[in-house]
């Protein structure tokens, strides 16, 4: 196999390798052929091995170097390793205290949601009762014209209930539009603060 054929085949086999390792491998191979001379190309191929074998060796060495890089970085920064050990130790020590607090916080949050849902349901039922109680009163006012006073009282009471129900519906919808976005923003802010706190701890 000639130099050009070997280099061309090697380029194909080295695809996927990082650019620096790729260029170093091609440069090394070209220099190896040049130093051996044109008449010794077959001998160079025997020494280097087939392009597939040589490429596999280069890729294996690249993987080993990538695995050793974090270890060297960690060895250069013993303070970082010590900080991680201390953080893990403190986390384990705080776990017996933090876990019950987290459980209590979750229970309180669930209770708060339950109370809020109960209040909303009670408000809807109450508004509906006030609103729909006006309908029988209106009908009673229309049907009791024989006794004018009772008819007017029933008619006025029906209008009052319906008007109050509509007004309460408007107020209820207005409060919902304020409370739900505010509650959502509160949960979102708490989540982002907790996330930022974890990011600072990792840093």
90-129 pLDDT, tens digit per residue, is 666 666 676 777 888 889 888 988 888 898 888 889 888 8
CB of 3 closer than 8 Å to CB of 41: yes
CB of 159 closer than 8 Å to CB of 141: no
Determine the pLDDT at residue 199.
57
23-52 pLDDT, tens digit per residue, is 888 888 888 888 888 778 888 888 888 888
CB of 21 closer than 8 Å to CB of 62: yes
Determine the pLDDT at residue 172.
86
pLDDT classification of 198: cutoffs 50, 70, 90: low
Determine the pLDDT at residue 146.
65
Long-range Cβ pairs for the range 14-17 (8 Å, 24+): 14/55, 14/58, 14/59, 17/58, 17/59, 17/62
The pTM for the full model equals: 0.39
- What are the domain boundaries of the chain? 3-76, 79-202
**Which residues 6+ apart lie within 8 Å of 63 measured at CB?**
none
């Amino acid at each position: 196999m000639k130099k050009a054929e070997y280099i061309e085949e090697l380029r194909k086999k080295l695809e996927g390798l990082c650019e620096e390792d790729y260029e170093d491998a091609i440069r090394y191979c070209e220099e190896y052929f040049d130093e051996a001379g044109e008449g010794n190309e077959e001998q160079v191929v025997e020494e280097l091995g087939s392009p597939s074998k040589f490429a596999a060796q280069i890729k294996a060495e690249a993987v080993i170097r990538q695995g050793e890089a974090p270890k060297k970085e960690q060895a250069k920064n013993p303070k970082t390793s010590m900080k991680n050990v201390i953080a893990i130790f403190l986390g384990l020590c705080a776990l017996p205290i933090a876990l019950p607090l987290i459980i209590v916080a979750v229970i309180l949050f669930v209770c708060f949601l339950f109370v809020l849902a109960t209040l909303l349901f009670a408000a809807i039922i109450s508004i509906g009762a006030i609103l729909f109680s006006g309908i029988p009163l209106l009908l009673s006012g229309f049907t009791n014209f024989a006794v004018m006073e009772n008819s007017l009282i029933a008619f006025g009471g029906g209008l009052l209930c319906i008007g109050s129900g509509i007004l309460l519906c408007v107020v209820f919808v207005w409060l919902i539009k304020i409370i739900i976005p505010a509650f959502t923003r509160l949960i979102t802010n708490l989540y982002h603060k907790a996330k930022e706190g974890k990011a600072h701890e990792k840093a």
